[in-house]
A and B are shown apart, each in its own frame.
Chain A
Amino acid sequence: MRRVVVTGLGMVSPLACGVDETWSRLLEGQSGAGPITKFDASHLATTYACEVPLGDGSGGTFNPDDWMAPKDRRKVDDFILYGMAAAEQAVTDAGWTPEDEADRLRTGVMIGSGIGGLSSIADTAVLLKEKGPRRVSPFFIPGSLINLISGQVSIRYGFKGPNHAVVTACSTGAHAIGDAARLIQWGDAEVMIAGGAEAAICEIGIAGFNACKALSTKRPDDPQKASRPYDADRDGFVMGEGAGVVVLEEYEHAKARGAKIYAEVLGYGLSGDAYHITAPSEDGDGGFRSMQAALERAGVDPKDIDYINAHGTSTMADTIELGAVERLMGDAASGATMSSTKSSIGHLLGAAGAVEAIFCILAIRDQVAPPTINLDNPAVEPVLDLAPNAKRARKIDVALSNSFGFGGTNASLVLGKVSD
C-alpha cells in the first residue's frame, strides 16, 4: 500500500490566524471565547462563542484582505474565505505550487464543511422575502455550496485532480483527511489538499444549536470558562469557527522533491452509530469501533498510542467517549495522555477534525500534549491523563484524533512519526 504523509499545514482558528500562532497560544492554555460580536446576540440563549480574531493581520489576527481580494470575497460566505486562507497557508508551507500540467493533474482537493454557507442562506432567504427573487445575487449559490472551497482552491492553483468535499457534520474534517489519504493510497492522486472549514456563528446557527440544547448558555459573564470538557460543571459546547487544511502527499513523491515531512497518516477508521440523530449511545460503541478500525488499519496496538485528541465537546457525551477510549486502551490507558483542545478553541464543527489532526501532528513534532483547560473538577475519575489546565511534555510518536458528528457519524485518524 502506498504511504501518505503530511507536508503542509494551514489554519484559521479562534486563537489566531496561522498554525504556529494558534499552537503557541493553545499550549499556553489561552481561550478563544468571548461575547459574540458578529451580530447582536442579546436575544439568544447563548451570547458567546469562539470567533476568529479579526484585525490587520498582525499579531495573529485574521485580515480577510490577505487571503481573497475584496471583489471576490464579496461573492463567498465566510466559510469559503476561511477555507481559502487555510489552504493557501498549507500549500505555501508544503511548497507545492506546480506549474507543470502533469503535476497539476495529479493534485486534488477535498475540503468540506459541516453546514456551509448558513449565514448567506439565512440572509438571502430574508432578502427574498423582503425584496423578491430579482434581488437574489448570482453569487448566492456558488458562494454557499459546501464543495466550493475545493472548487475555489482548484481554480486558484490549477489543481486538476480529484475535486471532492465531505459533509459529515462534526466529523467532516477528519473524514476529509482520511478519505483524501485513501485517494492517494489508491493512486487517484499524488497530492491532496484536505480539510474542513466552518463559519456558523450567526443568528440562525446559534438559535438552531440552542434549540438542540447543545450549546453552553450559563456563562455569559465568563465565556472563557464556558468550554470545559470532562468538568462536572460543563453545560454544552461553545461554538467556534475557522478552518484547518493539510497537504497530503504520497511518501516517495514527498521524499523525491525533498519536502518537509511532518507526519504519516498511519490509519483511518469510520463507523456509524445507528442510534440517534444527535446523541451517541451510552456505551460509546460507535466511537469505539471507529477508533478500533483506525488502529487496525495503522497496525498499531493501544499501547503504542501516546496522545489522543478527543472529540470532547464539553457536553454530556464527553464521559461516553472517555469510557470508550479507556475500554479501547485497556491496561495502556494510564500511560497515555488525552486532551480536548475544544476547551480552548470551542467546537469548530466541520473544521474541528482537521484542526485537531493538525494539533496531533504538532504534538508529535514538538513532543508536547496541549492542555484541557477549565478542567477543575472532573465529572468522573479518569484513568487517562487528561492534561488538566497545563500542557504535558512527553514522548509522542503516535497520536489518535477522534471526531464524532450528528447523525452518528464517526471518524478516527492515527498519525505518527515517519519512519523509514
Chain B
Amino acid sequence: MSDIADRVKKIVVEHLSVEEEKVTENASFIDDLGADSLDTVELVMAFEEEFGIEIPDDAAETIQTFGDAVKFIKEAS
C-alpha cells in the first residue's frame, strides 16, 4: 500500500474510531464506517491539513469512499 493510502487510513481510523481492517478500498465513510455528514466535512479538513492541499466543496462531495479519498489526494498532491 502506498504511503498516501497509509496516511489516509490513519486519519480515517483516528477520526471515526473504526478498526483498520474495515477501511477497505470501497468502504463508504457514511454507509460502512459510521460517519455522518459533519464527520465527512472534518475528514476532508484533516486530509487538507495532512497533505497541504485544498479540496474544494464540490470535489469533497465526490469523496465518498476510502478509495475515492486516496485517488483524489494522489492526483492533487
- A: which residues have CB within 8 A of B? 69-71, 75, 134-135, 137-139, 142
Chain B min CB distance to A133 (Å) = 11
* 20 contacts across the A-B interface (CB closer than 8 A): A69-B17, A70-B17, A71-B15, A71-B16, A71-B17, A75-B38, A134-B45, A134-B48, A134-B54, A135-B45, A135-B49, A137-B42, A137-B45, A138-B38, A138-B41, A138-B42, A138-B45, A139-B38, A139-B42, A142-B38
Question: Which residues of B have CB within 8 Å of A69?
Answer: 17
Q: Is the interface of A mostly helix, strand, loop or mixed?
A: loop
Chain A min CB distance to B76 (Å) = 15
Question: Which residues of B have CB within 8 Å of A139?
Answer: 38, 42
How many of chain B's residues have a CB under 8 angstroms from any CB in A? 10
**C-alpha gap A134/B49 in the complex (Å):** 10
Question: Which residues of A have CB within 8 Å of B38?
Answer: 75, 138-139, 142
Chain B min CB distance to A219 (Å) = 42
Residues of chain B from 9 to 53 with CB closer than 8 A to chain A in the complex: 15-17, 38, 41-42, 45, 48-49
Question: Which residues of B have CB within 8 Å of A71?
Answer: 15-17
**C-alpha gap A75/B39 in the complex (Å):** 10
**C-alpha gap A75/B45 in the complex (Å):** 14
Instruction: Count A-B pairs with CB separation below 8 Å.
Output: 20
Chain A min CB distance to B70 (Å) = 21
- B: which residues have CB within 8 A of A? 15-17, 38, 41-42, 45, 48-49, 54
Chain B min CB distance to A123 (Å) = 15
Chain B min CB distance to A124 (Å) = 13
**C-alpha gap A70/B14 in the complex (Å):** 10
**C-alpha gap A394/B53 in the complex (Å):** 68
Q: Is the interface of B mostly helix, strand, loop or mixed?
A: helix
**C-alpha gap A139/B35 in the complex (Å):** 13
**C-alpha gap A134/B41 in the complex (Å):** 10
Question: Which residues of A have CB within 8 Å of B48?
Answer: 134
User: Can you list the 5 inter-chain pairs with the closest CB atoms, starting with the nearest?
Assistant: A71-B17, A138-B41, A138-B38, A138-B42, A137-B42
**C-alpha gap A57/B41 in the complex (Å):** 33
Question: Which residues of A have CB within 8 Å of B41?
Answer: 138
Chain A min CB distance to B17 (Å) = 4
Q: Which of B15, B38, B41 has the most CB of A within 10 A?
A: B38
**C-alpha gap A75/B36 in the complex (Å):** 13
**C-alpha gap A135/B41 in the complex (Å):** 11
Of all chain B residues, which has the CB nearest A74?
B15
Chain B min CB distance to A80 (Å) = 15
Chain A min CB distance to B48 (Å) = 7
Question: Which residues of B have CB within 8 Å of A142?
Answer: 38
**C-alpha gap A142/B48 in the complex (Å):** 22
Of all chain A residues, which has the CB nearest B41?
A138
Question: Which residues of B have CB within 8 Å of A70?
Answer: 17
Of all chain A residues, which has the CB nearest B36?
A138
Question: Which residues of A have CB within 8 Å of B45?
Answer: 134-135, 137-138
**C-alpha gap A71/B36 in the complex (Å):** 12
Question: Which residues of A have CB within 8 Å of B42?
Answer: 137-139
Of all chain A residues, which has the CB nearest B37?
A138
Of all chain B residues, which has the CB nearest A135?
B45
**C-alpha gap A75/B38 in the complex (Å):** 10
Q: Which of A69, A134, A142 has the most CB of B within 10 A?
A: A134
Of all chain A residues, which has the CB nearest B16?
A71
Query: Told that A71-B17, A139-B42 touch, could you supply 4 new A-B pairs with CB distance under 8 A?
Result: A70-B17, A134-B48, A134-B54, A139-B38
Question: Which residues of A have CB within 8 Å of B54?
Answer: 134
Chain A min CB distance to B26 (Å) = 22
**C-alpha gap A82/B75 in the complex (Å):** 44
**C-alpha gap A142/B15 in the complex (Å):** 17
Of all chain A residues, which has the CB nearest B18?
A71
**C-alpha gap A190/B54 in the complex (Å):** 51
Of all chain B residues, which has the CB nearest A141?
B38
Chain A min CB distance to B32 (Å) = 15
**C-alpha gap A139/B42 in the complex (Å):** 8
Of all chain B residues, which has the CB nearest A137?
B42
**C-alpha gap A134/B54 in the complex (Å):** 9
Chain A min CB distance to B42 (Å) = 5
**C-alpha gap A138/B42 in the complex (Å):** 6
Chain B min CB distance to A48 (Å) = 35
Of all chain A residues, which has the CB nearest B38?
A138
Of all chain A residues, which has the CB nearest B49?
A135
